[in-house]
Amino acid sequence: MLLLTLGPRVWPRLSQLKPGVLLRSSGSETLYVKSRCLSGQGQPQGPGLRTRLLVTALFGAGLGWAWLEARAEKERWRQQQRTEALRQAAVGQGNFSLLDHQGQPRCKADFRGQWVLMYFGFTHCPDICPDELEKLVQVVQQLEAEPDLPLVQPVFITVDPARDDVAAMARYVQDFHPRLLGLTGSAEQVAQASRSYRVYYSAGPKDEDQDYIVDHSIAIYLLNPDGLFTDYYGRSRTAEQIVDSVRQHMAAFHSTLP
C-alpha cells in the first residue's frame, strides 16, 4: 500500500473519489490516477473472450457438420431412389450389334467393366450434336484429370446410318476426343440399339440438295461397369453437374463391391 503525505485541504476530497483511484502527490500538484489492478478486485472472473469464442466456434462447426452430413445423406437417398426408378424403366436392357469407326464389330458386352457415356446423334447435325458431344468430352476430360477415378469410355451412336457409314464416323469422331468411339450399322441394327435406350429419331424431308435433318432424342446416357443403364443427362445439365453425378454413381457402385 502506498502511503501519501496529504495536506489538510486534500482530505475532504477523498470522499469524492471513486473506488479504484489512487492519489499521488507531486510537488504542489495533486493527480488522480485510476488503478487498473484494483478495478476488478472483489468481482468474479468469467471465461475469457478467447475461450468464449472458441466454444462458439466449435459449437457452430458441429452444427455445420451435422447439417452437411444430413444433406449428403438426403442426396444419397435421392440418388438411390432415382437409380432404382431408372432401372425399373428397363432402359438399355437389350443388346446391340454395331460397327465402330474402324470397321470392327461391337456389342454391348464389349463395354462390360467400363463406365460409359453414350450419345445418339448424327454427323450432319448443325449444332445440337456437336454441342452435346463437346459437353460429353469435357466431362470425360475432367474425370480423366482425377487419377483415383476409373476412365470413362465415350461412345457416339448414329441415328442416320444412311449417311453415317464407317468412314464418315471416323472423320467425325477425330475432331472431339481420341478415345471417342463412333458406332454405326445397318438401319435395322441402329433401330435395335435406339429402341433399347428408348431413343426417338425421325428423318425430316429432303431439300433440293438432298440434305435433311434428323429429329431425335437428346440425352447422354451413363452405363456402369455391369452394363446397366444408370442415369441420363439432358441439354440443361452442365458438364460440371454431370461430372458430379458420375462421381456419385462411381462412389455408390464401388461401395457395393465386396
Q: What DSSP state is assigned to residue 248?
A: H
Q: In 230-254, which positions are buried (b, 16+ CB within 10 angstroms) versus exposed (e)?
A: bbbbeeebebeebbebbebbbeebe
Q: Are 254 and 244 in contact (CB under 8 A)?
A: no
Q: How far apart are CA 13 and CA 243, in angstroms?
A: 80
Distance CA 68, CA 237 (A): 24
In whole angstroms, give the CA distance from residue 116 to residue 223. 5
- What is the sign, positive or negative, of the torsion defined by CA atoms of 12, 13, 14, 15? positive
Q: Which residues are annotated as a binding site?
A: 125, 129, 216
Q: Which residue positions form the known binding site for Cu cation? A: 125, 129, 216
CB neighbour list of residue 205: distance below 8 Å, 6 or more residues apart: 212
